[in-house]
C-alpha cells in the first residue's frame, strides 16, 4: 500500500505457525492489509522501530472468530475471542536492516480457550494508542483447544 503523505511503500506479510501438543503441524502464509487510519501512527511506529523513540509502538494484538474480508477502513477485530486474554502484548519486535520490522505474537495452550473450542479466523495488530494497523483472515481457520499453540510472525517492509 502506498501511503501518500510520506510517499512510502509499506508491504505486510504474515506467517502463522500452528502447533498441537508441542508439534508443528502447519505453517500458513498470508498477505497483509494495512488499514487506512495508520497515517496518524505510522511515522511514530517507524521512528520507534528503528530509533527506539516509543512515541507510537505496535505492542498488542487481538484474535477473533469472524471471517469477513478485511477492508482498509476496519478499526478493530470484528469478533474478539471473549476469553479475557485479548488484547495481548506482543512477544517480541525485531528489526532487520533499515527497512524491515517483524512482530512476534504467541497464543499459548492456556490462552484464548472457550467452550466450545473457538475457530480463530482473524488477527489484528494494534498500536499502543489502540489503532489497528493491520488485519488478516486465517484461511483455513485454526480450531483453538487446550493443546493448541499459535505463533504469528507479522512483517512490515518499508520502501
In tens, the pLDDT along 93-105 reads 888 877 888 999 9
Q: Which residues contact 82 (CB under 8 A, 6 or more apart)?
A: 114
Q: pLDDT tens digits, residue range 32-68?
A: 878 877 766 766 766 776 677 666 678 899 999 999 9
CB 64 within 8 A of CB 123: yes
Top-confidence range, 14-23, 48-57, 124-133:
14-23
Q: What is the predicted pLDDT for the residue at 3? A: 42
| Residue-level pLDDT at 35 | 81
What is the radius of gyration, based on Cα positions, of the chain?
15
Q: What is the mean pLDDT of residues 125-144?
A: 92
- % of the chain with per-residue pLDDT over 90: 58
Q: Quick one: how far is CA 72 from the chain centroid?
A: 15
Q: In the predicted model, what is the mean pLDDT of the chain?
A: 87
Amino acid at each position: 500500500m502506498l501511503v501518500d503523505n510520506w510517499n512510502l511503500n509499506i508491504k505486510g506479510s504474515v506467517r502463522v505457525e500452528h502447533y498441537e501438543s508441542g508439534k508443528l503441524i502447519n505453517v500458513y502464509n498470508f498477505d497483509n492489509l494495512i488499514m487506512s487510519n495508520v497515517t496518524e501512527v505510522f511515522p511514530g511506529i517507524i521512528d520507534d522501530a528503528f530509533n527506539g523513540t516509543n512515541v507510537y509502538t505496535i505492542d498488542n494484538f487481538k484474535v477473533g472468530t469472524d471471517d469477513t474480508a478485511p477492508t482498509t477502513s476496519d478499526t478493530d477485530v470484528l469478533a474478539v475471542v471473549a476469553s479475557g486474554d485479548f488484547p495481548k502484548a506482543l512477544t517480541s519486535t525485531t528489526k532487520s536492516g533499515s527497512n524491515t520490522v517483524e512482530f512476534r505474537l504467541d497464543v499459548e495452550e492456556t490462552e484464548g480457550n472457550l467452550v466450545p473450542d473457538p475457530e480463530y479466523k482473524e488477527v489484528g495488530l494494534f498500536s499502543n494508542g489502540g489503532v489497528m494497523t493491520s488485519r488478516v483472515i486465517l484461511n483455513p481457520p485454526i480450531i483453538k483447544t487446550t493443546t493448541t499453540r499459535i505463533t504469528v510472525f507479522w512483517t512490515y517492509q518499508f520502501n
